[in-house]
Amino acid sequence: MAQEVHARGTHDFGKGRLTHCLDCRTAGTNSTTVGVCQSCGAGVCAAHARTAPRNVRRGSLIGSPGEAEARTVLCPVCAAAEAPAAAALCPRPG
């Protein structure tokens, strides 16, 4: 039985099955997912994963909150739209 490709890729986390990169799957190949786009939820392989910095506020609501730099994983489409610097840092495959 063929697996259906959903908008968010194939997600069978925790069921002993591998997930596949949505962009690779759309192109007709299979690559194992190494992350999930934090914007659209698409599974991304190592070649399609983009990382972008983001600031995280921490501490109490009263007083001076601290900030720390963290990273977020994005697919190429969302990286180009949300974090053009991240999209430019990693060349697109193929």
Determine the Cα–Cα distance for residues 91 and 72; give it in Å rounded to an integer. Answer: 17
Structure pTM? Answer: 0.65
User: pLDDT tens for residues 30-63?
Assistant: 899 999 999 999 999 999 999 888 888 887 777 7
Q: Where are the beta strands (DSSP E) in the chain?
A: 35-36, 43-44, 50-58, 66-74
